Structure formats: C-alpha cells, structure tokens
Amino acid sequence: MKRALNFNAGPAALPESALAKAEKEMMNYQGSGMAVMELSHRSKEFEEINERTKNLLRNLLTIPDEYEILFLQGGASLQFSMVPMNLLEEGSIASYVLTGTWSEKALKEAQKVGNAVIAASSKNANYRFIPSSSEIDIPAESSYLHITTNNTIYGTQWHSIPENLPVSLVADMSSDILSRPLNLSAYGLIYAGAQKNLGPSGVTVVIIHKDLLNRSRPGLPSMLDYRVHADSQSLYNTPPTLSIYFLMLVLQWAEELGGVKQLEQLNKQKAALLYDAVDSSGGFYTGHAEEKSRSLMNVTFTLNNEDLTSAFLHEAEESGFIGLAGHRSVGGCRASIYNAVPLENVEKLSDFMNVFRSKN
C-alpha cells in the first residue's frame, strides 16, 4: 500500500505498526466482539487500556510516583486556561517565557485568569532563539514559570532547562514530548496535546506533581479542576476512549523500538539530514532558527524569494511530500519530523532538497 511522505505539523504521521494493530483489532477488540470505541468506558477492557497506557508512559518517561498522569480533553489550548486556574494563587503572579505563537496564546489566556507577565521573550528577533536562563526575570511573587519546550511554528527548542528555579516550572511539551529523555523532577507540571508525538488528536496528557493538586481556586468547575480528574483516574466523565487506546499503541511501539533514548538518537539523525541540506546549500536555503536553538522536531527554512518557495512546495507536492508549507503566520517551509516519521522519508526529503537546489 502506498503511504504518503507525511511531514505534517500535527495531526501528523503515526507509526505504521500502530495503525496496522488498530486495523486488526477494529471489529473485535481482544475477543470482546466490539470495537474499542464501542466499549463502555467503565468496562474491564477499557479500564485495562487506561491503566496500561498510564504505566507505559510512566516507564517510558520515568515518571516518579509523586506525579499524577491525567488524560484530558480540550487540547493543549484548554491547558492554557487550566494551568492558571489551578496553579495561579490569589495575589500572586504567573510568569511566561515567550518563544512563539503558542506561548503568546498561553500568556493571553493566563491574563484572563489573573496577573500574568512576560519573564523573557525573543519576539523582537522573530522568535529565532530561546532566551538563556540569565535573561529570565521571574518576579518574586510568582506561582510558576511557563515555557514552551518546542516551538512548532518557528522551529526552535529548549536544549537545556532553567535549573534551581524559585518557582514551579510548567511546560507545554505538545510538540516534543517523548522525543528525548525527560528529567521530570525539574517540572511541576507538563502538558501535551497528543497529535504530534503521542497519537491522534482528542487526548491531552497532563503530568502534575501531587503537591500542586491542592492549589486550585475555590469554586472551579469540576471539569477544569485537576484534583477532580486525579481523584477519578481520568474517568470523571466519558474519556476519549479511542484516542487513549491509540496512545497506548503508539507507546507500545516506542517501547518496542527501545524507548526515548533510542528515539532521541533517531531524531538527531533525522534532523541532521535536513539541517545539513540547509547548511551545505551555500545560502540557497536559510534556516529560520539560530543554530543553538534549532528544533529536532520542526525544521523551518526559507528560500530566497516567493517564486522559488512556491516552486519548491509545488514540486515537493508533485513528488509526494505532504505538509511542507510553513505555518501561515511565518511562511517559508517547515518539515515536521516527529518520532513516527521514518528515517528513510527524511532521507528522501534531504535528497529532494539537494536535487532541487542543484537544478535551480
């Protein structure tokens, strides 16, 4: 069967073995005579899926027992609101590092909830780099510091995390969770929409230190309260059962592959192929991100003019490459090379870039 050379930014490519397993189990999940999406979320079968998925994530990311894993809905965008609703205490401040569109959105939502400020920003440089730890200014009364570990649109990524912070660190990891080992103890809370590295859209993973579960504002609607979801093992209401099942299949694939260390190796290899094509092009391609802040997940680059960019994108599409246009807010090109994008597809793209350069 012909599969696309999929470089979409999210929803994005999924591991073929996970798709094949879902297909095989579609009509009759584990002898139940039902598809997963036909199972009751209170059934033994689904409770097992829920537990197994959590355990896989706990093992893959070495999540200590002091952290609760939640499977929620509403995307990473709802976390922009839930984080301040649950963690920003009355009379205190939420601090945000702006590294792109998604952190701007997170800040905007926090400002609707309470007092939220900018602790550092690379906006003046068109978000080409990640500010260094010494540039981050956290007001003394802060409840937490929020960062976006990978900037999907601009193609930058944090390669070292600010340490010994006086406040809890909160991170949007939507576009790089599971792409590399994680020292969770540096964080109070992380969240990620699933549709890039984890599975299909519809489920959002939140990993929260248990100490932070008691900070919620009084009177918070139940669905917006982390404590409510934690107390009911993410089964307070009907969860997105199919998305969680798929998350399980993707995590099983990651485990069989050798875990996050192995994935990180592969991701480095894949990203190097594309950055080499950019760096060795003699200025034909220009990377958007500064070298030290380059993302291993989203490779962003421009060509010298609009006509050449259009020709590149057109020819790429004709050759079967999907999703290479940059985000509408920045233009240019972007190749998203999440965990499940096969190395050989990235090799094909790097060859295509080299051939297109030599022809033009």
Compute the C-alpha angle 193/199/203, nearest 5°: 45
Q: Cβ of residue 193: shortest distance to ligand PMP, in angstroms?
A: 3
Q: Which residue has the tokens 């990203």?
A: 271
Q: Which is nearer to ligand PMP, 122 or 175 (CB)?
A: 175
Of 172, 225, 253, 270, which residue is the catalytic one? 172
Minimum distance between the CB of residue 167 and ligand PMP, rounded to whole angstroms? 21
**CB-based contact 1:20 (threshold 8 Å):** no
For ligand PMP, which is the closer residue by CB, 92 or 101?
101
Among 54, 102, 176, 253, the active-site one is 102
- Nearest distance, CB of residue 102 and ligand PMP, angstroms: 4
What letter represents residue 253's amino acid? Answer: W
Residues 297/267, Cβ–Cβ less than 8 Å:
yes
10 vs 287, which CB is nearer to ligand PMP? 10
Residue closer to ligand PMP by CB (options 246, 352) is 246
**Numbered residues of the known binding site for L-glutamate:** 42
Q: Is the omega angle on the peptide bond into residue 181 within 30 degrees of 0, that is, cis?
A: no
Between residues 154 and 284, which has the closer beta carbon with respect to ligand PMP?
A: 154
Least Å distance between CB 173 and ligand PMP? 8
Cα–Cα dist 77/74, whole Å: 7
Binding site: which residues? 42, 76-77, 102, 152, 172, 195, 237-238
Among 54, 158, 176, 196, the active-site one is 196
Which residues make up each annotated binding site for pyridoxal 5'-phosphate? 76-77, 102, 152, 172, 195, 237-238
Residue type, 292: K
HSE of 83, CA atoms in CB hemisphere, 13 A: 39
| Binding site residues, ligand PMP, CB under 6 A | 10, 75-77, 102, 148, 152, 172, 174-175, 193
Rounded distance between C-alpha atoms, residue 102 and residue 207, angstroms = 19
Q: How far apart are CA 103 and CA 156, in angstroms?
A: 12
Radius of gyration of the chain (CA): 21
Under DSSP, the state recorded for 17 is: H
Please give the residue whose beta carbon sits closest to ligand PMP in the complex. Answer: 75
Minimum CB–partner distance for residue 218 and ligand PMP (Å)? 27
CB of 222 to ligand PMP, least distance (A): 21
276 catalytically annotated: no
Q: At 180, is the secondary structure helix, strand, or coil? A: coil
Which residues lie closer than 8 Å to 301 by C-beta, 6 or more apart?
278, 285, 286, 287, 288, 332, 333, 334
| Nearest residue to 147 via CA among 166, 127, 120 | 120
Active site includes 172?
yes
Amino acid at 358: S
Residue type present at position 331? G
Nearer to ligand PMP, 53 or 350 (CB): 53
Q: Decide: 52 and 250 in contact? Cβ < 8 Å.
A: no
Q: Hey, which residues are catalytic here?
A: 102, 172, 196
